[in-house]
Amino acid sequence: MTDKVVLAYSGGLDTSVAIKWIREKYNLDVIALTIDVGNERDFSTVRQKALDVGAIKAEVIDGKELFVKYFIFPALQANALYEGQYPLATALSRPLMAKLLVDTAVAEGATAVAHGCTGKGNDQVRFDVAINALAPSLKIIAPAREWRMTREETIDYAQRHNIPIPITADSPYSLDENLWGKSIECGVLEDPWAEPPEEIYTWTTSPGNAPDKPEYVEIGFDKGIPVTINGQEIDGVSLIRQLNELAGKHGIGRIDHVENRLVGIKSREIYEAPAAVVLIQAHQALEAMTLSKDQLRFKQKVSQECADLIYNGLWFSSLNRDLAAYVLSSQRYVTGTVRLRLFKGNSSVVGRKSPKSLYSLGLATYDKGDEFDQSAAEGFIHLWGLPVRTQAQVQLIGEPDGPLSIPPPKQAEED
Ligand code: ARG
């Protein structure tokens, strides 16, 4: 009996060619596995294409709910943004795909799994590290990393083997899409000085053409998880979809990022992530009301660690589990509602409220009702400034070029 391999199949050029190529090169039966993570596609066509090209079996798994529950929402609670910009849509989907690939391989008695990543990107790292962690005995085949074909040669291979070439093969761009966002690279985008052409954007209206009237949206959170839009309860998948639509219509969520890949390359990437941008912004605004100053400062460091480990393919590590436990604990009181104004490419937080808010009007107000004891400020400042005063007296007063020595203003020249 021929051994089997489970291939993560997108329906695109590379993974279609991979079905034939694996058969020729490794003499394995290919089972195509397509995972629906919210990339709007006609999955029955994708499935049929895999069979037409030569897969012995083709399966589609709906991974949307798992993706939201175990990957997107924990990343949102962590405010995970790689290098402060990229909400990690592609990066978050890889460990889930690896898990489903491995599960399918076990169920099918396959000896190997395969994916369509090249040898230059982060995705190969995420797949391989995750697969090795989950099932070290499975062989990993990465055709696009092994075959050393250029894009033209790949198209030529497809033509010679009667593999239908998707119209998207005409496009110079490499795309990846899921619920949390769309990643766009290659083509003219490789010139970091070139403004991205409007044609690459399919999720967002150009801000200039966005509606002339602002739109308001209220997002309700329960322990850091978004659960309502404008007061209506809604499941996670639908909530993200609805916000992608709404914020995208107002031109929100375009990101132009020169990022540092794990393999050492700087690359220019464009992202569209309307829901992610709005949700992270709203979530941070609610945290500002419900976490203490020290919790907020510490959480920023945790966020950065989380983003890095997601980007770097370390999802299935104990560090991720440990950080996730901290993040989850930090969300105990992150419950409430945030109101945002969406207008011509920008979303702004214009209101927030929480039953567990640490904001106290009695302490903050300059009007009547002030509960803050201003007389206590004097003693507080006396002690707070003690080390500065001491240092000034002992070391700094009269020190040339010291921190206290600002030269006097130049005299106006007399004419
Ligand atoms: N640079 C992003 C990342 O590493 C996006 C990768 C997009 N992948 C793709 N196959 N087009 O997460």
Pairing of strands 266-272, 225-229: unpaired
Give the pLDDT score at 118: 93
Alpha-carbon distances, residue 25 vs 111, 141, 335, 346 (angstroms): 15, 11, 55, 50
Least reliable range by pLDDT among 24-33, 103-112, 156-165, 176-185:
156-165
Kindly report, residue by residue over 294-303, the tens digit of the pLDDT: 999 999 999 9
Active site residue 238: no
Q: β-strand 139-141 against 225-229: which pairing, if any?
A: unpaired
Atom of ligand 1 nearest to the CA of 89: 12
Assess whether pLDDT exceeds 90 at residue 1. no
Mutate to test the pocket of ligand 1, among 13, 173, 183 (most ligand atoms within 8 A of CB): 183
CA 99/CA 125 separation, integer angstroms: 14
Range 27-41 average pLDDT: 94
**pLDDT, tens only, 14-23:** 999 999 999 9
Sign of CA dihedral 132, 136, 140, 146: positive
| Ligand 1 neighbourhood includes 123 CB (under 6 angstroms) | yes
Sign of the four-CA dihedral 305, 306, 308, 314:
positive
**Phi then psi for 82, rounded to 5 degrees?**
-70, 130
Confidence label for 165 from pLDDT (cuts 50, 70 and 90): confident
Lowest mean pLDDT among 40-44, 135-139, 349-353: 40-44
User: Which atom belonging to ligand 1 lies closest to the Cα atom of 267?
Assistant: 1
Q: What is the 3-state secondary structure (H, E, C) of the chain?
A: CCCEEEEECCCCHHHHHHHHHHHHHHCCEEEEEEEECCCCCCHHHHHHHHHHHCCCEEEEEECHHHHHHHHHHHHHHCCCCECCCECCHHHHHHHHHHHHHHHHHHHHCCCEEECCCCCCCCHHHHHHHHHHHHCCCCEEECHHHHCCCCHHHHHHHHHHCCCCCCHHHHCCCEEEEECCEEEEECHHHHCCCCCCCHHHCCCCCCHHHCCCCCEEEEEEEECCEEEEECCEECCHHHHHHHHHHHHHHCCCCEEEEEEECCCCCEEEEEEECHHHHHHHHHHHHHHHHHCCHHHHHHHHHHHHHHHHHHHCCCCCCHHHHHHHHHHHHHCCCCCEEEEEEEECCEEEEEEEECCCCCCCHHHHCCCCCCCCCCHHHHHHHHHHCHHHHHHHHHHHCCCCCCCCCCCCCCCCCCC
CB of 204 shorter than 6 A to ligand 1: no
Amino acid letter, residue 60 = V
In the predicted model, is pLDDT for residue 361 greater than 70?
A: yes
- Residue 242 forms beta bridges with which residues? none
Is the pLDDT confidence value at 415 over 70? no
From ligand 1's centre to the CA of 121, what distance in Å? 7
For residue 414, pLDDT beyond 90: no
Angle CA 270–271–274, to nearest 5? 145
> Alpha-carbon distance 258 to 84, whole Å?
11
Mean pLDDT for the stretch of residues 117-123: 95
Give the residue among 258, 203, 247 at the shortest CA–CA distance from 82.
258
Which of 96, 115, 123 to mutate to test ligand 1, by most ligand atoms within 8 A of the CB atom? 123
Q: Is the pLDDT of residue 203 over 80?
A: yes
| Tokens linked to 12 | 């695109």
Active site residue 174: yes
Cα(112)–Cα(95) distance, rounded to whole angstroms?
A: 17
Catalytic residue among 123, 128, 176, 254: 123
Helices 89-108, 123-134: axis angle to 10 degrees equals 40
Contact in structure between 5 and 110 (CB atoms under 8 Å): yes
Is the pLDDT score of 134 beyond 90? yes
Query: In this prediction, what percent of the chain has a pLDDT beyond 70?
Result: 99
* Residue 241 CB neighbours (<10 A): 17
Ligand 1 pocket check for 178: Cβ under 6 Å: no
Give the tokens for residue 19. Answer: 């079905």
Give how far Cα 329 sits from Cα of 78, 168, 310, 316, 352, Å: 11, 44, 20, 20, 21
| pLDDT, average across residues 170-186 | 93
pLDDT, position 168: 74
Per-residue model confidence (pLDDT) at position 406: 87
What's the whole-number mean pLDDT along residues 16-37? 97
Which of 9, 97, 176 most suits a substitution to test ligand 1, by most atoms within 8 Å of the C-beta? 176
Residue nearest to atom 9 of ligand 1 (CA): 176
- Residue pLDDT, tens place only, 37-86: 998 789 999 999 999 999 999 999 999 999 999 999 999 999 999 999 99
Q: Whose CA is nearest to atom 1 of ligand 1?
A: 269
Which protein residue has the closest C-alpha to ligand 1 atom 8? 176
Q: Are 105 and 113 in contact (CB under 8 A)?
A: yes
Q: Does 185 sit in the ligand 1 pocket, CB within 6 Å?
A: yes
Determine the Cα–Cα distance for residues 248 and 202; give it in Å rounded to an integer.
9
- pLDDT value for 212: 98
Predicted pLDDT of residue 191: 97
- Ligand 1 mean position, distance from CA 90 (Å): 6
The pTM score is 0.95
- Known catalytic residue at 357: no
Q: Is there a contact between 226 and 285 (Cβ–Cβ < 8 Å)? A: no
CA distance 245 to 242: 5
Taking Cα atoms as reference points, which of 88, 7, 409 lies closest to residue 259? Answer: 88
The answer to whether 127 and 155 are in contact (CB under 8 A) is no
179, amino acid identity:
L
The mean-pLDDT minimum among 19-33, 130-144, 151-165, 251-265 falls in 151-165
The pLDDT confidence band at residue 306, using thresholds 50, 70 and 90, is very high
The rounded mean pLDDT for the chain is 96
What average pLDDT does this structure show over 311-320? 98
